[in-house]
Amino acid sequence: MKIKRLFEKIMENWPAKVICFGIALVLYLVHITSLLDRKTYTVPLKIVADGGMYPMSDYPEYVRITVRSTAENIAETLQSDFTATIDLTKYEKEGSFSIPVSVHLSPKLLLMDPFEIKLNPESVSMRLEEKTLKYVSVTPALSGEVRHGYTVTKTTVEPATVEITGPRRSVDETKQVYTSAIDVTSLSESKTVEASLQNINSLLAINPAKSYTVRIEVAEEPLVKKFTDVPVRLLFLPEWFEAEEEAPKISFDVAGTVPMLEDYDLSEGAVYADCSAIDKAGTYDLPVHITLPSYFQIENQSAEAVSVSVRARREDNADLGAENR
């Protein structure tokens, strides 16, 4: 009888009691919720493209995950506890799709209670194309200027190619991949450096080797310098003769390199004609000699020989006339 009375007592006016209990529960939950802290994490968005499709359009690099939990739980939560992914494995045709973003929590977060998360964005609009791959050449990216008077003559990379993966059109349009910037400022000799690769197309995935060796060949820059109307000195002319006219002149080019030739000037007597064989007054065609360092080359010489007219010195002629008188 007592149990029956207790049950009747409980059931007495039960709709009002249920309503009161519901209100109390809501107030409790509101109170608990008001005590929760909030924090937003920026998490990299990873693409899982193990199937035959690959994103052709740009997509956000990051998603924002807002967490509501106790202060203690949030204090222990790190960005690395979240993994945000878009899985393209199940897509088999090209086209535009709205693809949901999945969030994976670390084991410690799964044990936290209460723990609420809100994701932004929850899905990403993306155009997919057939995934393809190919090998392209690796090109050194040089920055700066080598030392004045020098030039880069050749660059080589080992390995010379790299595998790229991505949507069909992007892969087809890509002809080369560049290394990270290599500074050649003031370089005056060849050198070998290690370099990584840079990816300027976010739609492509690069499968690089462990390292890339870049050889930069540097040499002195070629230079051709013009010498115009250079007097030809008459050397070894017997002292009892003299030239009837001013010294003849010639023009020529000298080929060399900028460091050696840019500031080079002809020494006195570098251009001459050998007059040692002259034994009487008259006109002679004499070969022109140009004396230069062996690392220079003479080009476009205007004359191989010059015409030289000589006569007896005037004082010698005067002495000869006095003797005849």
pLDDT one-digit tens code per residue, 258-274: 999 999 999 988 999 99
pLDDT at 170: 92
Using alpha carbons, select from 255, 238, 325 the residue that is nearest to residue 292.
255
Using alpha carbons, select from 304, 319, 316, 240 the residue that is nearest to residue 278.
240
Whether residue 69 contacts residue 77, with contact meaning beta carbons closer than 8 Å, is answered with yes
Burial of residue 216, with CB atoms counted within 10 A of its CB: 0-12 exposed, 13-18 middle, 19 or more buried? buried
> Distance between CA atoms of 162 and 170, rounded to whole angstroms?
15
pLDDT at 58: 86
Phi, psi of 228 (to 5 degrees): -115, 140
Spans in the chain with pLDDT lower than 50: 31, 318, 320-325
CATH number given to 10-130: 2.170.120.30
pLDDT at 237: 94
pLDDT at 11: 60
Give long-range contacts, CB 8 A cutoff, 24+ apart: 120-124: 120/63, 120/64, 120/65, 120/66, 121/60, 121/63, 123/98, 123/99, 124/45, 124/59, 124/60, 124/86, 124/98, 124/99
pTM metric for this prediction: 0.66
What's the sign of the alpha-carbon dihedral 277, 283, 286, 288? positive
Burial of residue 188, with CB atoms counted within 10 A of its CB: 0-12 exposed, 13-18 middle, 19 or more buried? middle
pLDDT at 62: 96
In the chain, where are the structural domains located?
Answer: 10-130, 131-219, 222-322
Superfamily of domain 131-219: YbbR-like domain (2.170.120.40)
Fold of 222-322: RNA Polymerase Alpha Subunit; Chain A, domain 2 (2.170.120)
pLDDT at 57: 87
- Quick check: do 10-130 and 222-322 share a fold? yes
pLDDT at 168: 92
pLDDT at 84: 97
